[in-house]
A and B are shown apart, each in its own frame.
Chain A
Amino acid sequence: MTKGRIVRRSDGFRLNEPRTPIVGGNRRPSLLLKNARVGAIRERERLNRVLIVHDPGDSRSVFGLRDMPILRLAAREGVLANQVPALRRNAMLALAESPSPENLGLLSDLALIGEDFYTRGHAMLALGQSGLKLAAPLLVNGLGAKELFERNAAEAGMVALGRKNGLGFLEALCKAERQTETQKALQRILAKLKKQRSASPKKHISSRKKGS
């Protein structure tokens, strides 16, 4: 048995490092300029992490008012910024949690004239999550979008809006709608919400039974 193999068994990964010696070793010192990191840059780096939490296992931090200017910047950064798509989407959704005029103005712009269907779709989703009835015309408009993704996002936004404002609001929208296709989409959303509502009390009862 070779010496190398004994080392591997004590740490299975060490052998994946190069065996051939590297001139100067396998570490290089970082050169970080602490004084150059102004508050906004530090905040941006923090928000970059918070915005890409993947799965519901960990709850995300609540965003504060001081985060909003940077979140608005992140929501505006288009494809040329080379950020991961989830970051921009989640920045938009974070803006909707704090529906100030600046935030809503930006989201409305993005929903209306965003440069692609993802941008418009994510903005509509965020507007729906805001729960503000004012978002309804933009979402109704999105239900008739050419791109499937955009229509689906508008539908999901409308579902969120319906959850927060009640079925009556959606029924009123449906009755007021003149386009047949859009009306059908609204009816579909209503049916979905009604189904969810009828299903949720059962879950509640069963969980109480389990606990008792």
Chain B
Amino acid sequence: MPTTSILGTKRLSQRPINHFSALDDEPARVLLLATASAATISRISGLSARAAKQIITLRSKRRDFTLMDLYGFQGVRLADLEHLRRKSVFPTDEHVVITSVAPAKRRIMSEKPFALRIAFVSPKRTQPILACVRVEWVGASFGVEQRVTAANRRSGYVDVAFDKKRTLPTGPAIFRASLFTENGSQARFRATCVVLPSNPFSLALSPNANFVTGTFSARGVRNGNAFETAISVTLNNGDGASVSVQPQFTWKFWDGGVGGSLVEQGTGNFGGSIAVPPFGTWGGWISFHSPQGSGAFNKYDGKEDMTIEITMSRSNNSAVSGTITCRTMFQFGVNVTQVAFEDFTGQEGVELDAAAAVTRTIYERHDVTFVTDERGIQRARAGPFENITSDSEARDLWEQWSGPNTNDNIDAFVVNQLLIDGKYDGLDGDIPGPTSRDGRSSGTVQNKSGFVDSGGNRRLHVEYLGMLMGHELGHYLGLSHVSNAGNLMLPDSGATDTALTYDQYRTIIRHGWVFIS
């Protein structure tokens, strides 16, 4: 009788525990030009020593100088000034910059109060007055606000307290910090921290390739006459000493939760030795293959949920285990098409893939998944579609370019600029979109949400673009705008508005291009 087996295992590289997600903002080195020395200006901005000295001379004459004043300097290139502007706070600026967000005492321990340190830089004339932190964790998200005092302003940081009512369990938590000034300027910063176990060791499972280890379901993917299931394993060490773990593990598929009826079980091995660093994490990946006739295949085929349990042993033979629900999901396909692909840098291409993964995570949290086909239209052939300036241009794009050689995928076109009325950054044809390529509404268009980072590199705002693609795909799948707070289909949904209701789920799965394996 066929049985489930391990298709493969691998070790996953781990990010720092307080910068755990690739979507986090990077800590910034910022020049406060009102006080910086010539050497610091030169080091951080890359300006020549001569130009830096000119700034110091200018500052001694005029304390309220602006970027415009620097254009008169001899021998300074425009690119240098642009770089300086991106890295600096000028004396005349009216905004604050968050330079980093991290636990005040280096790490957060489960079920223990903690403080989150928001470090900032601000010009003298504009100081922050309010710190806000929104926390996304395994439970319902919540917010904490704290006034920024004069002492905080002098020290350049504020420690936002999370008391015993607001402790967190083991696992990653996303902290979205904002600082507001009295005049209404705002700086943001996103940081993901792993909350380490106080007990002090744990094992957590999460779906394959999700950005932040969560507790939503893993998915069984039909591949020919088999289902494949991939999961990530994270070992969390809250102790000050390294922990050795045996590379072998046992796996079980349960029906009705752990302790219900056992569907299948077996063993696997990550190979080599495993040492979980002090106050750190170790990550692995397991892929299961369940052929037709196996217990897990039959459950998946019958659209039943299962629970996967993974157990590993520490070197002292004490066991540690974790569980995750797995199920098949409704799915659809998306052609993610770069319009004028020569305009996308390699980094932007990688970030577009990451944005599509963000979109997938949004949908998988609600039991719908999708596969992507990455495509591109040459600039020479893209014509006017590089910058969509009207509804009719978008419809021309869908009419001319949607869907060659694909099986019922939704076409999501990503363009350099969407300039309809100069305002909007997404567009779809009809709600719901058609299940054919005929007509002029078979696709979505979204602005690529590009920016230039403080190092001068072209980037895409992955989290926002992922949400935006999800929003426009939602229209294609039949969802109209709603007013529920936090919903993906809000007309003004932001990166954190990713919820879908059960009614919306039922609408999505009725679309003709959505199916279940």
Contacts and interface: CB of A to CB of B under 8 A. Distances in A.
Interface residues of B, number: 102
Nearest to A109: B68
B323 to A, nearest CB: 7
Contacts, number: 249
Interface stretch (A18-26, A166-174, A204-212): A18-26
Nearest to A129: B422
B129 A36 contact: yes
B139 A27 contact: yes
Contacts of A31: 143-146, 166
B325 A32 contact: no
B61 interface: no
Given A22-B169, A82-B25, A117-B452, A93 B422 contact: yes
A43 interface: yes
A177 interface: no
B496 to A, nearest CB: 11
Contacts of B451: 79, 85, 116, 118
Given A27-B142, A77-B185, A115-B85, A52 B494 contact: yes
B491 A116 contact: no
A15 interface: yes
Interface in A44-81: 44, 48-50, 52-58, 60, 69-70, 73-74, 76-81
Contacts of B495: 84
B145 A44 contact: no
Contacts of A48: 186, 494
B73 interface: no
Given A53-B423, A73-B183, A85 B166 contact: no
A86 interface: yes
Given A78-B86, A80-B454, A54 B257 contact: no
B255 interface: yes
B373 interface: no
Chain A interface category by residue count:
35 or more
Nearest to A34: B145
A18 B215 CA distance: 6
B180 A156 contact: no
B449 A69 contact: no
Contacts of A36: 129-130, 145, 147
Contacts of B260: 2
B67 interface: yes
Interface in A114-164: 115-118, 125-126, 129, 148-149, 152-153, 156, 159-160
Contacts of B184: 40-41, 43-44, 69-70, 73
Contacts of A57: 475, 480-481, 491
Contacts of A86: 425, 447, 449, 464
Contact of B416 (A16, A30, A149): A149
A201 interface: no
Nearest to A56: B424
Interface stretch (B91-99, B267-275, B311-319, B397-405): B91-99
A178 interface: no
A100 interface: no
Interface of B: 25, 28, 30, 67-68, 71, 81-82, 85-87, 89, 93-95, 97-98, 110-111, 129-130, 135, 138-140, 142-147, 165-169, 180, 182-190, 215-217, 255-257, 260, 304-305, 307, 323, 325, 343, 365-367, 386-387, 389, 391, 416-417, 419-428, 447, 449-454, 456, 461, 464, 468, 471-472, 475, 480-481, 491-495, 500, 502, 505
23 contacts: A2-B256, A2-B257, A2-B260, A12-B502, A13-B505, A16-B325, A19-B307, A29-B166, A36-B145, A40-B184, A44-B184, A73-B183, A76-B93, A79-B451, A79-B454, A80-B30, A80-B97, A80-B187, A82-B187, A84-B461, A113-B81, A129-B422, A148-B343
Interface of A: 2, 4-5, 8, 11-13, 15-20, 22-33, 36-38, 40-41, 43-44, 48-50, 52-58, 60, 69-70, 73-74, 76-86, 90, 93, 109, 113, 115-118, 125-126, 129, 148-149, 152-153, 156, 159-160
Given A38-B182, A80-B30, 18 more contacts: A30-B143, A33-B145, A54-B471, A54-B492, A55-B426, A55-B491, A57-B475, A57-B480, A57-B481, A69-B184, A77-B185, A80-B187, A81-B187, A85-B450, A113-B67, A115-B86, A116-B82, A152-B387
